[in-house]
Structure 1
Amino acid sequence: MTTADQAKTQDSGAGAGKSAFSRLELDMRLMGMVGAFVLIALTFNFFTDGRFITPRNVFNLTVQTISVAIMATGMVFVIVTRHIDLSVGAILAISSAIGAMVQARWLPQVVGLDYGNPMIAPLAVLACLAVGTLIGAFNGWLVGYQGIPAFIVTLGGLLVWRYVGWYVTDGQTIAPLDQNYRILGGADGTLGVTLSWVVGALASAGAVWAIWNARQSRKRHQFPTKPLWAEFTLAGLAIAVIMGYVATLNAYDMPTGKLRRIFEARGEVLPEGFTQGYGLPISVIVLAVVAIAMTVLAKKTRLGKYIFATGGNPDAAELSGINTKLLTVKVFALMGFLCGLSAVIASARLQSHANDIGTLDELRVIAAAVIGGTALSGGIGTIHGAILGALIMQSLQSGMAMVGVDAPLQNIVVGSVLVLAVWIDIQYRKRLGIRA
């Protein structure tokens, strides 16, 4: 039998006795999360008289989700290895404090760099990343080599690092931040309409390539493949979601006052009736790069395989030769790096460093990872699930704020949703015979 004949047999055999929907082989847990998100959006859209699903709110929801979503991708690895990190909000705060002091105080006053110098923003970003990575590695060393439970180490870090940041800034709000630094936050840094369409087209092409590459890989290993119509359907859905998202953000026009300031900065006059869409925020591109990198790390690298092997059975992993102590340092250092990156995104969005930045983010990050399907018992978790979990969390909070729900009740709802999500996940894994 030729390879082509084998492929045809695989295609036909894979679909025998299955319904059209089942042939798509969708992750039903992921589909349940998508359904929950759609239900949340439609519900809040109804109670806000159509204000929830608008280009403006989708844009705001996007930029508000980024920093938590970035940290949630790292929390997946931490929880997969059967640890927890309660200090992520505090690490974000100290990283933001150092980054803000670098650009607003130390470089201008000590080094003598003028405000707006192109070197200030890169140095501030590097400072945030370095501080976060070092603190994360220190946490990992205490957990891995000193044997202190991660809960205790990071609980102490939750109290320590935020107030170290408070002393660094003398308890002051640090502003204004560098104008080049602020483009990483959202509204001050977008791609514009044309470039957003280009990025959307490239992302769509990438999604199609990934689907096709996965199909070819299954054929090479003589695994059953989906029918071609199913592959085309999935590709079409991916393109529709990506381009629909880009179209929504492109439809959000900049305020006239902001456009006028932009034209005045160029020495021009705003033409009568001129409009311009925001397009994709640069922070979305940052999240996309992080998501791709973390997914590749999880699925295609030795480190990723070691992380999931250790989470599945730490004793067996150690007996097989994996240095679980060093692995713990690497996982927490990566978590710290992502906290530093989130500090850049969060402070750039707020255009200042405030002492309460990142407050309760540790709970939001853990909730996003768990809602996204990361098992607290270790060994199971996905990057895309954590990002979707972060989006669901932010949608709940934003929607309740728009409806006028009091802050205490918002926290009650979010806490209840977290417990409910874990219960649903446990029941789902029991049905599939997976260790919970």
Structure 2
Amino acid sequence: MTETVPAPATPSQDAKSLADHLRAIEFDARMVGMVAALAVIWLGFNWLSGGAFLTPRNLWNLSVQTASVAVMACGMVLVIVTRNIDLSVGSMLGFVGMVTGLVQAQLLPGLIGFEHPATWLLSILAAIVLGGLIGLFQGALIAYLAIPSFIVTLGGLLVWRGGAWWVTQGQTIAPMDSRFRPLGGGIEGAIGTTASWVIGLVICALILAGIAFARRRRKRYGFALRPLWAEIVLGGLACGTVIGAVMIANAYALPAGVARRLVEAKGGSWPEGGLVIGHGLAVPVLLALAVGVAMSFLARRLRFGRYVFSIGGNPEAAQLSGVNTRKVLMLVYGLMGMLVGIAACISTARLNAATNSAGQLDELYVIAAAVIGGTSLAGGVGTIAGAMLGALVMQSLQSGMVLIGVDTPLQNIVVGLVLVLAVWLDGLYRKRLG
């Protein structure tokens, strides 16, 4: 009686089985690659800086510095998805920031007085409206006059940078309204440890509820389901990231003098041995996350988002299907301008001043963040979450180079090389899929 020995699996069969498993759990190679790259960057700079990079203080400041670029990167995803580009976002930020400072320092004080409770709200509204109008104007030139987006936004880069200087003849406007400053972070823009834990736990609950809701919808409509273990791992990693971020933010302690004034202002007594009070999450970080969630919902759940991706995938087919492609394109640029207005508020509040040099080279970081995050320059492909992670990668590079004393010209060289590398890798990835 002979024993039947199963034939060994061929390499092609093993590869096919692995590919099937990865497809079943919806493995995103790009996102995992970005996380791995971010880990390498953080560990590398931490080693080069003698352990100064991976500290609560530096990571907290890194998150605040990333906020404005991340907000603009959310809009840049939709612009690039439509097979266009916006080179003017940095100059727009400088111009809108200067106008916002002018509104706070000169216009509103003459109308409603200094430090009025409505000043910060009116300033934010003015920034968003102005940014939106600029974006709509540029979008109309591109969509209705058929001027290439590269030319329109390159002209905008020059026009709005000159406008930022012209508003006040190059003078810096400072300080900003006290209720406006928390938008930029700092001690005033930290929400404290207790509120941070509450927000962190709420976010974790929303993440788990979202995963459960998505799974139930897929099951209802007969779509393929991820393995349960994959859902559990995904939820655990997401919640672990949120909890870790809260722990790091809370570990960054307030200066002893500031903490003592806070305790005494609440009627408490300062203990003899001192007291450690953490900053907690920063307001601009929470604002950037809120923008990211809203933009993800718009891109994935609303009709407008489907129109944007259909235009990027095949403009002719989208137009034949009844999509008003010119109107959608103009609105995409209007939305980009509104996000620039929000970013201008964050940047101006962080500096506590409006300067005509604000936003210089931000267009490079924003475009690089979107491309690194998986947005294809060929159009039709991109994710908001990837762009925000790309913004963190780009800001980590800049922050790390500053920390170890790299000169600014060399920093620009590195960022430029990273952008070229990202576009090259995107081309290779698309060829492999095709």
Q: Is TM > 0.5 for Structure 1 vs Structure 2?
A: yes
- Using the size of structure 1 for normalisation, the TM-score is 0.92
Name the structure 1 match of 2:191.
Answer: 191
Q: C-alpha displacement at 1:226, in angstroms?
A: 2.2
Name the structure 1 match of 2:302.
Answer: 301
Contact 2:298–2:305, Cα closer than 8 Å, also in 1: yes
Partners of 2:383 and 2:148 lie apart in 1 by: 24
Q: C-alpha displacement at 1:236, in angstroms?
A: 1.1
How does 1:26-425 map onto structure 2 within 5 Å? Answer: 26-108=27-109, 110-114=110-114, 116-187=115-186, 188-262=188-262, 270-272=270-272, 273-425=274-426
Partners of 1:258 and 1:351 lie apart in 2 by: 19
Partners of 1:320 and 1:71 lie apart in 2 by: 30
Q: C-alpha displacement at 1:224, in angstroms?
A: 2.4
Contact 2:191–2:283, Cα closer than 8 Å, also in 1: yes
Q: C-alpha displacement at 1:21, in angstroms?
A: 7.2
Question: Percentage identity across aligned positions?
Answer: 53
Name which of structure 1's ranges 218-227 and 373-382 shifts more when overlaid on structure 2: 218-227
Contact 2:129–2:341, Cα closer than 8 Å, also in 1: yes
Residue-pair matches, total = 416
Equivalent residue letter for 2:166: Y
Contact 1:72–1:366, Cα closer than 8 Å, also in 2: yes
Partners of 1:127 and 1:162 lie apart in 2 by: 19
- Residues 1:311 and 1:19: Cα distance change in structure 2 (over 3 Å): closer
Contact 1:175–1:352, Cα closer than 8 Å, also in 2: yes
- Using the size of structure 2 for normalisation, the TM-score is 0.92
- Residues 1:28 and 1:169: Cα distance change in structure 2 (over 3 Å): same
- Residues 1:200 and 1:182: Cα distance change in structure 2 (over 3 Å): same
Residue deviations 1:231-270, cap 9 Å, x none?
1111111111110111011000011233345467678775
Name which of structure 1's ranges 254-263 and 340-349 shifts more when overlaid on structure 2: 254-263
Q: C-alpha displacement at 1:76, in angstroms?
A: 0.5
Partners of 2:334 and 2:54 lie apart in 1 by: 38
Partners of 1:262 and 1:350 lie apart in 2 by: 23
Q: C-alpha displacement at 1:189, in angstroms?
A: 1.1
Name the structure 2 match of 1:5.
Answer: none
Residue deviations 1:134-168, cap 9 Å, x none?
10000011111111111111111111112212221
Partners of 1:49 and 1:98 lie apart in 2 by: 42
Q: C-alpha displacement at 1:305, in angstroms?
A: 0.6
Q: C-alpha displacement at 1:345, in angstroms?
A: 0.5
Residue deviations 1:292-348, cap 9 Å, x none?
111111111111011000111111111211111111110000000000000001111
Contact 2:91–2:161, Cα closer than 8 Å, also in 1: yes
Q: C-alpha displacement at 1:48, in angstroms?
A: 1.0
Contact 1:191–1:280, Cα closer than 8 Å, also in 2: yes
Partners of 2:319 and 2:133 lie apart in 1 by: 25
Q: C-alpha displacement at 1:403, in angstroms?
A: 1.2
Runs of 4+ in 1 over 2 A off after TM superposition: 16-26, 257-272
Contact 1:74–1:338, Cα closer than 8 Å, also in 2: yes
Residue deviations 1:89-135, cap 9 Å, x none?
11111111111111111111x21512x21111111111111110110
Partners of 1:318 and 1:81 lie apart in 2 by: 13
Equivalent residue letter for 2:284: S
Partners of 2:329 and 2:26 lie apart in 1 by: 35
Partners of 1:131 and 1:377 lie apart in 2 by: 30
Q: C-alpha displacement at 1:227, in angstroms?
A: 2.2
Contact 1:24–1:234, Cα closer than 8 Å, also in 2: no
Q: Secondary structure at the match of 2:211?
A: helix
Contact 2:95–2:356, Cα closer than 8 Å, also in 1: no
Partners of 2:259 and 2:389 lie apart in 1 by: 33
Name the structure 2 match of 1:429.
Answer: 430
Equivalent residue letter for 1:213: F
Q: C-alpha displacement at 1:85, in angstroms?
A: 0.6
Name which of structure 1's ranges 257-266 and 84-93 shifts more when overlaid on structure 2: 257-266
Q: C-alpha displacement at 1:203, in angstroms?
A: 0.6
Partners of 1:372 and 1:17 lie apart in 2 by: 28
Task: Please give the root-mean-square deviation of Cα atoms over the aligned residues, in Å.
Answer: 1.8
Q: C-alpha displacement at 1:274, in angstroms?
A: 2.0
Contact 2:104–2:177, Cα closer than 8 Å, also in 1: yes
Q: Secondary structure at the match of 1:330?
A: helix
Partners of 1:371 and 1:327 lie apart in 2 by: 25
Partners of 1:20 and 1:45 lie apart in 2 by: 37
Name which of structure 1's ranges 21-30 and 39-48 shifts more when overlaid on structure 2: 21-30
Equivalent residue letter for 1:418: L
